[in-house]
Amino acid sequence: MAQVDSSKTPHEAAAGSPPGEPAEAASTPGPRWSDRVGRWRRGLVPAGLALLLALLLSVHSRVPNRIGNLGSLLETFLPWCAVAVPLLVLWAVLRRSVSALVALLVPLLVWTNLFGGLLLDKTGGGGELMVVSHNVDADNADHASTARQLSGSGADVIALQEVPQAELATYEAELADAFPHHAVEGTIGLWSRYPLADVAPVDTGMGWTRALRGTVRAEPGPVAVYVAHLPSVRVQFRAGFTAEQRDQSAELLGQAIAAEPVDHAVLLGDLNGTMNDRALAPLTSQLRSTQGAAGAGFGFSWPAGFPMARIDQILVRSLEPVSSWTLSATGSDHLPVAARVDF
């Protein structure tokens, strides 16, 4: 009968176990913060991804649009790149990697440099003119309720996009008391407390009217008001970010505003693009965003249920933004956007 050597301690017995036995596996240590060498050598993959994210944020304007308008697609949702940071932090913590955590400071600093200013509350009081813009959504189930909400907003000027012809009378009736002056071109409408003059459609190369221009004779002085609904964009598997038609319309609209003789000018509308999107440069190069200048936060306006991008814009020239915000949801898939400005 075989005899067991009871003189060996459990530790010595485990040390003599063949490779692959449970006792051997149990003795293998996991990543530890106390491992001074390992905590810097581990986590090179999340560290590399963190630096890549920082690079993407830094050079987003150089991401080419030649292939599927990838640059514009990235810039549309650029602030959301921050979502990758907590995921990489979790990865770095699980790996007990100091190098990865240090590397994550780089994209945080770059993101803060790009968007940190938007997180500050720059909202002021007063404002000589309040303007509102809203894509009311042709499929809105209750246009009358939407019109009543806008009527009670306190605005001096309201710009509407995507007004169905069948519902135009509804908006005219609901807004008539507060806004006695209005003009409509196609599915674009402009309502004002002040008299309107020189209303005319603006060519955006669509073949039908998607923009108009009018002069609002406000008490402080005349304001050229442009209302626009630029062509929609789509993300398709084969075609990529289909924004060519929108980009062409933005160019034509920019030319019209550049030729505007009235000093004070406002552009209100669904531009189907964000202020980061280089394709809107014909507009952003000569107009100022009220949200960036006098808002609090990003002011995302679409989709209404979970806003992810600000594609509804209020841009001004020779006017000083005082405050900028989004209004409560209506029956539309967009949120209304509002701003107050001084002359």
SS3 of 184, please?
strand
pLDDT at 24: 45
In the CATH hierarchy, which top-level class contains the domain 129-342? alpha beta
Please give the model's pTM, rounded to 2 decimal places.
0.87
pLDDT at 238: 63
pLDDT at 259: 98
pLDDT at 23: 47
Separation between Cα atoms, residue 155 and residue 338, nearest integer Å: 8
pLDDT at 338: 98
Q: 303 preceded by cis ω (within 30°)?
A: yes
In Å, how far are 96, 100, 104, 212, 325 from 84, measured between CA atoms? 18, 13, 10, 41, 27
Give CA 47 to chain center in angstroms: 27
Q: DSSP of 261-313, one letter per residue?
A: -SSSEEEEEE-SS-TT-GGGHHHHTT-EEHHHHH-BS----BSTTS--B--EE
Decide: 74 and 63 in contact? Cβ < 8 Å.
Answer: yes
Spell out the per-residue pLDDT of the chain, length 343, in tens: 445 454 454 444 444 445 544 444 445 566 766 676 567 878 899 999 999 999 999 999 999 998 888 999 999 999 999 999 999 999 999 999 999 999 999 999 999 999 999 999 999 999 999 999 999 999 999 999 999 999 999 999 999 999 999 999 999 999 999 999 999 999 999 999 999 999 999 999 999 999 999 999 999 999 999 999 999 998 776 667 878 999 999 999 999 999 999 999 999 999 999 999 999 999 999 999 999 999 999 999 999 999 999 999 999 999 999 999 999 999 999 999 999 999 9
- Which structure tokens are listed for 98? 């100091």
pLDDT at 2: 47
Separation between Cα atoms, residue 314 and residue 176, nearest integer Å: 23
